[in-house]
Amino acid sequence: MSDPTPSRSPLHDEHLRLGARMVPFAGWEMPVQYEGIIDEHRAVRGGCGVFDISHMGQLFVSGGEAPAWLDGMLTGHLSAMAVGGALYTFLLNESGGVIDDLIAYRLEADRFLLIVNAAKAAEDVAWLRSRLEGDVALDDRSEAYAAIAVQGSEAAGVGEKMLAGHGVDAPGRNAVIPFETGGGTGYLCGTGYTGEAGFELVCPAGAGPGWFRRALEAGATPCGLGARDSLRLEMGYPLNGSDLSPERTPLAAGLGFFVDLEKGDFVGREALVKQKAEGVAERLAGIEMLDKGPPPRPGYAVLAGGEQVATLCSGGLSPCLGRGIGMAYLPRALSKIDTPLELDIRGRRFAARVAKKPFYRPAENIA
């Protein structure tokens, strides 16, 4: 049986025009790179890049009971958010494992926008719809929207040029601003996945190509999935499906800050309370190679004292640090900073250590 035809972004023709290398990703055909992953990575760290993120899901939740209902579905305290605010949060199963990590934006007192991962969008929608209560409505508008992420140390200047004449400025951190654009209402979102300054622009699908071109004309470099992954890894940001999974909790991933155990009941809370009381058995730790060598990849063995103790969830070369970095769930006793480790890379062992995250701080100079 052949695989289903992947979906195409509203920006697909723009990617082809720029000569992007297209690859299948989470049911979509997306650009992995244009001129090269390292060049695109450095463009974001030293300037500004623009990413197509139209593959991510856009879910609207509304109704007078929506704030309280979302409090019961997600780990964050959404009913306490200010209108115009944003919150990174988790959708969990009953065992406290991560179904998806997402960002919630409060558009109005009783209306929210959830930006979810592409690979999890259908599962998220099914899970949430099966638990709808009262006057809460869930509207999956993923196919109707395009989205781009403008990220980098010079994103503010690029955003100013892009938005000139549209009566709106780029939002501050953890904020959302609705604005009118071609085809209807769009949203400027002050979040990101690179550690740099920047914003996301979510708009009706037909307006997407125009906004993408405006970003390029304003000085942004087109960037693909490859640079997006290396940038987030340098920051120690988790990737759903790799570093986050239904088998592990946000506490084990070191993301307890985004779990409000005091707000009241929510799906998975009981399991998290129990885990917190007993202590986590393993932690998602940063791992840094001590010497140059082949880049570490997901699935490679992590050893301590000559014995395998974990498997890399994420891994790759850090363009800014010039050495391999990765993340793995280590036994708690081995997760302390500077604990010596080894990585098995194609049958050869390379010295490594547990490193503090983020591996790279944007304020530092690029190596």
pLDDT tens digits, one per residue of 178-200: 999 999 999 999 999 999 999 99
Query: CA–CA separation, 241 vs 286, rounded Å?
Result: 17
Residue 364: its pLDDT value, please?
A: 46
Q: How many CB atoms lie within 10 A of CB 239?
A: 18
Residue 31's pLDDT is 98
Residue 366 has pLDDT above 80, yes or no: no
In this prediction, residues 203-221 reach a mean pLDDT of 98
pLDDT band at 240, cuts 50/70/90?
very high
CATH code for residues 281-367: 2.40.30.110
Burial class (CB within 10 angstroms; exposed 0-12, middle 13-18, buried 19+) of 279: exposed
Nearest to 267 by CA among 44, 104, 73: 73
Rounded to the nearest integer, the mean pLDDT of the chain is 96
The confidence score (pLDDT) of residue 3 equals 59
**Mean pLDDT, range 111-125, rounded to an integer:** 97
Q: Which residue has the higher pLDDT, 1 or 207?
A: 207
Is residue 57 within 8 A of residue 115, CB to CB? The reply is yes
Q: Closest Cα to residue 50, out of 240, 214, 190?
A: 214
Residue 363: per-residue pLDDT: 63
Q: Which two tokens stand for residue 233?
A: 């890894």
DSSP state, residue 282:
E
Burial status of residue 13 (CB atoms within 10 A of its CB: 0-12, 13-18, 19 or more): exposed
pLDDT in the model for residue 291: 87
Q: CA 139, CA 6: separation in Å to the nearest integer?
A: 22
Answer yes or no: is pLDDT of 367 > 50: no
pLDDT band at 292 (very low <50, low <70, confident <90, very high): confident
How much is the average pLDDT of 277-291? 97
pLDDT in the model for residue 362: 85
Domain ranges of the chain: 1-280, 281-367
Angle between helices 37-46 and 225-234 (to 10 degrees): 60
Instruction: Render pLDDT for 135-167 as a digit per residue (tens, 0 to 9).
Output: 999 999 999 999 999 999 999 999 999 999 989
Take residue 325 and report the two structure tokens written for it. Answer: 């970095």
Q: What is the rounded average pLDDT of the residues 214-218?
A: 98
pTM comes to 0.95
**pLDDT the model gives residue 1:** 42
Overall average pLDDT of the 317-342 stretch: 97
* CATH fourth-level superfamily of 1-280: Probable tRNA modification gtpase trme; domain 1 (3.30.1360.120)
Between vectors from CA 84 to CA 179 and to CA 68, what angle results, nearest 5°? Answer: 125
* Rounded-to-integer distance, Cα 174 and Cα 199, Å: 9
